Amino acid sequence: MTKPDPIPLSERQLEIMNIVWQRKEATVADVWDALTRRSKIARNTVLTLMQRLEEKGWL
């Protein structure tokens, strides 16, 4: 039996994961702070994206 493909990440989710991987661990506030330096994004959006990453098994 072949292993299923991993659940793909959106561009923004990958951006979040790169921040988490770089820092080894990060809170929603940490990620939000890092992302807002690059572009405008709501804190609740970061929270939702990180919750979805957790549901997918990435966090």
Predicted pLDDT at 5 = 58
17: which 2 tokens? 């994961």
55: which 2 tokens? 């549901």
12: which 2 tokens? 């923004």
Question: Helices (DSSP H) in 11-56: which residue ranges?
Answer: 11-23, 28-36, 43-55
pTM score, two decimals?
A: 0.82
Predicted pLDDT at 35 = 96
23: which 2 tokens? 């820092």
Q: Is the dihedral of CA 41, 42, 43, 47 positive or negative?
A: negative
Show the low-confidence residues of the chain (pLDDT under 50). 1, 3
Predicted pLDDT at 17 = 94
